[in-house]
Structure 1
Amino acid sequence: MRLALRQLFKSPGYTAVAVITLALGIGLNTSMFSLMNLLILRPLPYPAKEQLVRIFRTTPQDARGNHNVQSFLDLRRETAAFLKLAAYRQWGYTLTQPGRSPENLNALRVSAGFFEILGLQPELGRVFTPEEDHAGNHVVILSYAAWMAQFGGDPGIVGQTVSIDSEPTTVVGVLPEKFASLFLWGPSDVFRPLALSEQEKADRADTSVQVLGRFDQGLTLAQLNTRLAAIYANLADSRPREQSKDGLRAVDLQSSTMQPGTDVATLMLLGLAGFVLLIVCGNLANLQMARALSRTREFAVRAALGASRSHLLRPLLLESTMLALAGGALGVLVTVWGNAWISSQIAQNLPIHFDLTIDWRVLVFASGLSLLTGMFFGLAPAWLSSRVDVNDTLKSGGRAATGDRSQHRFRDALIVLQFAAALILLSATGFFMRGMQTLLARDPGWTPAGLTHCVINLPAARYATPQQVLGFYDNLEQRLRALPGVENVGIGWTAPLYQLLATRTFLVEGREPPAPGREPRAFVNAVSPTYLETLRIQLQAGRQFSATDALGAPRVVMINEAMARALFPGENPIGRHLSTGDAGNRASAEIVGVFHDVGMAGNPAPATTPFQVFQPLAQEPWNYVTVLVRAPHPVTEPLRQAVQALDPTIPVQLLNTADELAKTGTRALELITTIFFGFSLLGLFLAALGLYGVIMRLVVQRTPEIGVRMALGAQWRDILTLIMGTGFRLAAIGAGVGLLGSVAMSLLLSAMFAGQPNIDFVILPVTTAVLVIVALIASYLPARRATKVDPIEALRAE
């Protein structure tokens, strides 16, 4: 130990460089692991969490579907003997407080038993009672964050009355801070009883209910799924025809928090960070080898005095281990900085909070990675260097050792490995940037530029009838049209900026219906007559909606081109009829128009364009809508003032230009691209630095040979070619190996961006060329020094 420490202190420059580069490599990997820990590994804070499940409805189109209310009630009744179930759905409410602007609250409406199933005790007060799970009970439970933000953490909040949706509501409890789970419950501020109305119970087309369960201790998850399949099959007759072939799937609650692709994306980030660490280890292994070679005579003397090979190995391994542990300790600080940067970037660009705290799992990972890293870059150089020929070494006098063939092969293999890793990093960055470019260049089918956007939620207590809701929208539209410069105003359930809200199945009237479960499913949006003009969505055939398409008038719809091509190939869909709803309560609507396919601006396009149906907002008004105003300049403040002039208790949400909101959809991808770019630059720099060091040492070792060549008439060009050729050869072999990994990376990333080729034959040659150019530059600098060798001095030194 003391010998190893003495050697490290004798070379402070080497020690500092090694610790800093290790800190970068280990810190970056630990930061990526922190992300994986948050998204995948961190356990949920509930007792006996292995018995908690989410029950998904599976369809041919979706393996993680939600339920309608009646299906949940049937399922709860039939599984009561071995499974406790609760339902919840996302909702929105408006909080009004004296002297403050109204605020929108994200909410969960939960059925009786929800908190008991989770085994959750409130921070203050109590949870809901079964008797409160019916309409008319005005009670609320606050999240910890809402309690602190809205009420300053008032310990006497329980029992107080607050105004929610303009109705007096009693606070009965506050949840503990640990309950918050963005990936499970979403951004939930308050909780209200599910309180199903008779109309909600009868609506089998509304599949917005999610189901949570806790199964008996004697069951396994596989046994539970077997029982659920049998029960759901027996309930097939009670479901709508289009849901008769649906299935059920229970997924443990921990796994259900992961969105599809989350595990792949986080593993990919961790893997790319691993390539950076691999390059760091390659550099340090070469440095360790060079240091060990400079101590060959010392090893020979120690061996001659009776030291065994293990005695020679031990201090070398201790050196690398101490360097790695020091780098790991400093790497934790790099992790803290990296996590803070990632969290700040997410907070600036997305309305969510990432809790990238360092817990025991992260520390164990950092410690284990440090030890593995020390072994990785220290073992092979130590093993090769401890193999000493005592006689030859002592006979050679004071001349520096240049290493045997196996050591040279190992050195070359490290350079090849580093450049292969660097090419994979470069290619991954290129693929991602190309995908982003394709995404941003894609025509979404509408024009975000010039649009101002907001979302409003009319309190159901004061806007209880369709006439009241539509009256507010008409008045708002008139006010907005009167604003200077406003060209058009559109109102709809949603805008093509974020996820579409509702899907329904449709049947073409006059045709034999498809097999159960194979009915066409389309995203539905209810829009005002001027919605298409406001968003500049092109009408391909037929007409737009008009004022005559009112509440109580014959139902009409417009469909997108993709749906028209699929359902009416070679036919004119105008005038045909679609039906939707339960078998006993189907609604028929005439197709009056076909509009251009509309994409989600700023989001990766799906592999196939989804079916979309527009229907008149007047025929199915919602209290929760998106308002879009087209004007040559942003009208955010006038839009807010117009809403609050009509009703000052209505909060205005997501008030921004559509351009800015569209960019929000790409922010996560832009952050990943930035991380990729940073990894690739760092990896390329470290690989070039490693090659530079190896070639420079090669020049020093071959100085006598270079002197002889020049004495025999070799020109500076010959020497330059000789030295640079070595660097080029190693980089070219590394590029060849790296191309295999780059192709695999291309196949993996192509799935993330629609329209991206499986193998990108533009990025691969470009990144390979960049790698080779960098290698030539790294080789040129020491090669240039070799051309200036004085033959006489070189031969005299020999």
Structure 2
Amino acid sequence: MPSFITRLTIRLQMLFGRRKAAEQLNDELSFHLEQQIHENIAAGMNKDEARKAALRTFGSPGLTREQTRATWSWHSLEKFGRDLKFGARTLLRSPGFAFVSILIMALGMGATTSLFTVVRAVMLQPLPFRDPSHLVMLYEHFRDDNSNNGYNIVSPGDYRTWRADSHNFEGIAALRNYGGMVSGVNSELPEVVQSAGGSANLFPLLGVNPALGRSFTEAEDQPEGQPVVMLTWSFFQRRFAADPSIIGKQIHLDTVPTTVIGVLPPWFTYPDNRIQFWMPYAQTFSPGQYGIYDGHQSLVVARLKPGVTVAAATREVSAIQYQIHVANASKPVAEDVWSRPMIDDVVKDVRTPLIVLLASVACMLLIACLNLSNLLIARSAARRKEVAIRGALGGGRLTLIREQMVESLLICLTGGALGMLLSLAATKWLAAHWSRLPRAEAVHADVGVLFFAFALAAITALASGLIPAISSTGKGLLSALHDSSRTIGGSTSRARLRKVMLTAEIALTVTLLASAGLLFRSFLRLRTADLGCRTDHVATMRFGLPIIQYDTREKVLNFHESLLARVRSLPGVRGAALVSTVPGAGHEGDKTFTILEHPLPSFSDQEDAMYRSADPQYFSVMGIPVLRGRIFTEHERLNNDHYIIVSKKFVDQFLNGDDPLGKHVRVGWDNEPELYEIIGEVGDTLYDVTKPVQATMYFPILSGIPNRTSEANIVAWTAVDPLSMTTPIQQQISALDPQLPVYNVFTIDQIIGRTTASQGFAANLILAFAGISLLLAGVGLYGVLSYLVTQRNAEIGIRIALGAQRTEVLRVILIDGLRPVLIGAAIGMVGAAIAGSLIRSMLYGASPWDPIVIATTTGCLLLTAIAACLVPAWRASHINPIQALRSE
């Protein structure tokens, strides 16, 4: 131990006291040299002879000093410091090259670091719950269901049975999205907000403790339990100014007095940061709905017991589910249960876009590295004789490689530092503007991101600088000293290497450009998709009638008819109608049914259809064509409501295109099936522009049935700007019920824009990365060709002096520059086809080999390449031969 401490002390002294040690070494060398000189003088030599003899005996002091310093600790660090100084001075002598190189690497590393920050926070970091690796999501699975990857949300009856009968889970909890109107105790400031229902054991299961108050009890988690609510932190701050005295007080939820019992912590935003408050799960159901097995509405999260595998626990619950299926064979109850880790469930909608974006920036970074390598190779050609002289003076190949690698490291470290600053701003922008990005609150730079940025700079320095350093210090290094001044700089092999790297850079650029083009074209198709109805000059807004106030058919019908009459009389309104959910705004729900005239052999063959509620003028207002039969009239109201209209997809799918009129459909509403007669067939509409058409049933909204028709959208076809009519329409609703708020105030165009926002965001980002890559490729092509022209100045001057036409010189240089572009474009097309097949799931109506995208990509690349090559070629064709020869 003492010897180790002694060695450590000496090493630390040598690290921090090298200047003093160097002075001591110089003093000692001078002392011994003077002693030898004095001995020679004493032997009879004069002073000059004595000094020369002492130097011959003692050796070169400089060499001795270097040999001695080489034995010191930290000598490698000292040499690295000298290399850094030399590299910095070399780069400062070429500020233009240094600036372009640093900017290129800053763009590549900044984008990569920013995407890594997002991916790490969203996909790689564990969820902020207790032992998140033990949390899984459980789903029902129908064995004959191939849609939606087979994961189906869970009915409340299934959840309750799983929780009661399973033994391999520490706990099973349920949650579901909900919506509600919140107001003060005197119904002041009403607003409709997004909410959720969570079972009493949900927050303890996740390990979430309220910041204030408490969570739900089992007694409260009953359909008729005491009305209580937990606020999210954002709602607590916004609505109640973070006043803790709200705990224990009452607010009104859907006009029901409800006690605030707790506030969730600020970091808790699961499963959606738009949720404003939580209710007990059971209170989001009526008593009759809470035990049903065929109403699929809930998400179920479970925690594994220690030592129990996911597969074993899932098998147990799946066996329980099969027993439920057998007991409810006449209902849409699944046979199996599927599970997946909770983290996978949280990020399922953004996993593919994030991976594609990360691959895009990695491709862009690789292009930047190839670009820098090409510039370094071209630069090494200009410094060929300098490097050769350094080698002739004793510089070993490893030393020369190390010196050039240090230049690459300085460029990448500086670019990485600048890129990190760009990344901070880009990451903040991404988290703020990416619509519905899960875990967006966790996206921020930290020590891990800084370490990644530093490691990335080191890796890119190695990737960018190693090949140029090796190629410029090869076996033919000293031959540069034998070349005449008019010899073309750079060997044929290095010229070939530059072209190979340019080809690879162009190929990557084409692949990235084509992928971006496919995604952007897919996005444009989504934005211009045919909803099957009128989309221009249509304003919509949603409202929900509180069940307590509007508890009879007559009350609901009276409100609907009064509202329609008021809105239709407004100046500028061509037509108005009511519908439960407008086209493009979502699924709403579906119902199983049987067609009496087309009985099915078994329930397993039965399918379901979406449902909508609409008033008689809805189809004409929205421009939905009537294909057969008729639409609703004023007679389909109140109890005379057992008539439905079906879509073309319904007829094709369930009736094989036969005439649907007069057919009878038995629809399951909760546990009470009802019989309806089909009176008409209408055209299909899309519930989501990113999803295929689904069969739809339309029920009369003028039936006024509470719950089924209480929530509706008023749609107004206007002769003026539809947004200018939203306030007058809202005023008519307020005139009928001053305490009734509206929400989701959009035009149909805005609804389509919101639906496609995520796809558009990803497509625009990748398009931006592709544009930057194209710019980098152009800069690289220009830089390399400029260096080649500079190196060939003497040759070109001689050719012109011997009679070569300037147009011929221009043609030769252009062909030399465009040849790797054309080869790289051909290779890139193959890569684009492969990339297109990999991102097929993100494409809508676009083929992975879209001719328009290919033609546009090729055109952009060729125009950029010609622009990049034209300036050096033009400069080469206008060289003054006399001046070029004199400069040599």
2-structure distance, mates of 1:5, 1:461: 80
Letter in 1 for 2:690: P
- Secondary structure at the counterpart of residue 246 of structure 2: coil
CA offset at residue 58 of structure 1?
A: 1.8
Alignment check: 8 A CA contact 1:431 1:749 kept: no
Aligned to 2:345: 256
Task: Sort the Cα spacing of 1:514 and 1:706 in 2 relative to 1 into closer, same or farther, 3 A.
Answer: farther
Aligned to 2:87: 7
CA offset at residue 375 of structure 1?
A: 1.3
Aligned ranges for residues 404-443 of structure 1 at < 5 Å?
A: 404-443=491-530
CA offset at residue 276 of structure 1?
A: 2.0
Aligned to 2:594: 507
Q: Does 1:385 align with 2:468?
A: no
Q: Does 1:473 align with 2:552?
A: no
Aligned to 1:787: 877
- Secondary structure at the counterpart of residue 201 of structure 1: coil
Aligned to 1:492: 579
Aligned to 1:116: 204
CA offset at residue 455 of structure 1?
A: 1.2
- Secondary structure at the counterpart of residue 169 of structure 1: strand
Letter in 2 for 1:31: S
Letter in 1 for 2:221: D
Q: Does 1:194 align with 2:281?
A: yes
Q: Does 1:539 align with 2:622?
A: no
2-structure distance, mates of 1:421, 1:191: 49
Task: Sort the Cα spacing of 1:281 and 1:350 in 2 relative to 1 into closer, same or farther, 3 A.
Answer: closer
Which segment drifts farther, 107-116 or 230-239?
230-239
Query: Whose RCO is larger (CA < 8 A, sep 6+)?
Result: 1
Q: Does 1:743 align with 2:823?
A: no
Task: Sort the Cα spacing of 1:102 and 1:562 in 2 relative to 1 into closer, same or farther, 3 A.
Answer: same
Alignment check: 8 A CA contact 1:96 1:166 kept: yes
Alignment check: 8 A CA contact 2:637 2:702 kept: yes
Out of 368, 372, 378, which is 2:459 matched to?
A: 372
CA offset at residue 625 of structure 1?
A: 2.1
CA offset at residue 677 of structure 1?
A: 2.9
Q: Does 1:604 align with 2:690?
A: yes
1-structure distance, mates of 2:669, 2:554: 26
Letter in 2 for 1:663: G
Letter in 2 for 1:116: P
2-structure distance, mates of 1:352, 1:642: 40
Out of 216, 220, 233, which is 2:305 matched to?
A: 216
1:186-221 alpha-carbon deviations (Å, 9 max, x no partner): 521101112343211354442112212112111111
Q: Does 1:68 align with 2:68?
A: no
- Secondary structure at the counterpart of residue 586 of structure 1: strand
Task: Sort the Cα spacing of 1:374 and 1:217 in 2 relative to 1 into closer, same or farther, 3 A.
Answer: same
1-structure distance, mates of 2:372, 2:552: 73
Aligned ranges for residues 583-732 of structure 1 at < 5 Å?
A: 585-600=672-687, 603-606=689-692, 609-619=693-703, 620=705, 621-633=708-720, 634=722, 635-732=725-822
1:557-577 alpha-carbon deviations (Å, 9 max, x no partner): 211112211222252111112
Task: Sort the Cα spacing of 1:354 and 1:562 in 2 relative to 1 into closer, same or farther, 3 A.
Answer: farther
1-structure distance, mates of 2:642, 2:356: 49
Alignment check: 8 A CA contact 1:522 1:611 kept: yes
Aligned to 2:192: 104
Letter in 1 for 2:780: G
CA offset at residue 100 of structure 1?
A: 5.4
Aligned to 1:147: 236
Gaps of 5+ in 1: none
Task: Sort the Cα spacing of 1:115 and 1:123 in 2 relative to 1 into closer, same or farther, 3 A.
Answer: same
- Secondary structure at the counterpart of residue 811 of structure 2: helix
CA offset at residue 2 of structure 1?
A: 2.8
Aligned to 1:36: 119
Aligned to 1:52: 135
2-structure distance, mates of 1:654, 1:398: 76
Out of 855, 859, 865, which is 1:765 matched to?
A: 855
Aligned to 1:581: 668
CA offset at residue 373 of structure 1?
A: 1.2
Aligned ranges for residues 440-451 of structure 1 at < 5 Å?
A: 440-451=527-538
2-structure distance, mates of 1:704, 1:674: 46
Which segment drifts farther, 393-402 or 206-215?
393-402
1:310-356 alpha-carbon deviations (Å, 9 max, x no partner): 22222222222232122222212111222333345447x99997664
CA offset at residue 675 of structure 1?
A: 1.9
CA offset at residue 399 of structure 1?
A: 7.5
Aligned ranges for residues 151-166 of structure 1 at < 5 Å?
A: 151-166=240-255
Which segment drifts farther, 352-361 or 153-162?
352-361
Task: Sort the Cα spacing of 1:167 and 1:581 in 2 relative to 1 into closer, same or farther, 3 A.
Answer: closer
1:658-715 alpha-carbon deviations (Å, 9 max, x no partner): 3333322233333233323322222112111111111112112222322333333321
Aligned to 2:823: 733
2-structure distance, mates of 1:563, 1:583: 22
Task: Sort the Cα spacing of 1:67 and 1:470 in 2 relative to 1 into closer, same or farther, 3 A.
Answer: farther
2-structure distance, mates of 1:364, 1:616: 62
- Secondary structure at the counterpart of residue 235 of structure 1: helix
Letter in 1 for 2:357: L
Aligned to 1:549: 636
Alignment check: 8 A CA contact 1:246 1:517 kept: no
Task: Sort the Cα spacing of 1:9 and 1:159 in 2 relative to 1 into closer, same or farther, 3 A.
Answer: farther
- Secondary structure at the counterpart of residue 649 of structure 1: coil
2-structure distance, mates of 1:507, 1:42: 47
2-structure distance, mates of 1:175, 1:512: 51
- Secondary structure at the counterpart of residue 534 of structure 2: coil
Letter in 2 for 1:8: A
2-structure distance, mates of 1:204, 1:618: 29
- Secondary structure at the counterpart of residue 87 of structure 2: helix
Letter in 1 for 2:88: L
Alignment check: 8 A CA contact 1:296 1:401 kept: no
Q: Does 1:17 align with 2:97?
A: no
Letter in 1 for 2:114: S
Letter in 1 for 2:346: T
2-structure distance, mates of 1:464, 1:91: 20
CA offset at residue 24 of structure 1?
A: 1.2
Alignment check: 8 A CA contact 1:297 1:393 kept: yes
Give the aligned length: 791
CA offset at residue 278 of structure 1?
A: 2.0
1:70-108 alpha-carbon deviations (Å, 9 max, x no partner): 122222221146341122111112121369531112111
Runs of 4+ in 1 over 6 A off after TM superposition: 349-354, 397-401
Alignment check: 8 A CA contact 2:190 2:741 kept: yes
Letter in 1 for 2:785: I
2-structure distance, mates of 1:583, 1:686: 61
Q: Does 1:326 align with 2:410?
A: no
Letter in 1 for 2:234: A
2-structure distance, mates of 1:727, 1:151: 67
CA offset at residue 225 of structure 1?
A: 1.9
- Secondary structure at the counterpart of residue 419 of structure 1: helix
CA offset at residue 161 of structure 1?
A: 1.9
Aligned to 2:403: 315
2-structure distance, mates of 1:503, 1:5: 72
Among all aligned residue pairs of Structure 1 and Structure 2, give the percentage whose two residues are the same amino acid. 29
Out of 570, 583, 598, which is 1:483 matched to?
A: 570
2-structure distance, mates of 1:18, 1:697: 14
Task: Sort the Cα spacing of 1:570 and 1:87 in 2 relative to 1 into closer, same or farther, 3 A.
Answer: closer
CA offset at residue 735 of structure 1?
A: 0.3
2-structure distance, mates of 1:51, 1:237: 30
Alignment check: 8 A CA contact 1:294 1:400 kept: no
- Secondary structure at the counterpart of residue 151 of structure 2: coil
CA offset at residue 624 of structure 1?
A: 2.4
Give the TM-score taking structure 1 as reference length: 0.93
Which segment drifts farther, 680-689 or 584-593?
584-593
Task: Sort the Cα spacing of 1:585 and 1:101 in 2 relative to 1 into closer, same or farther, 3 A.
Answer: closer
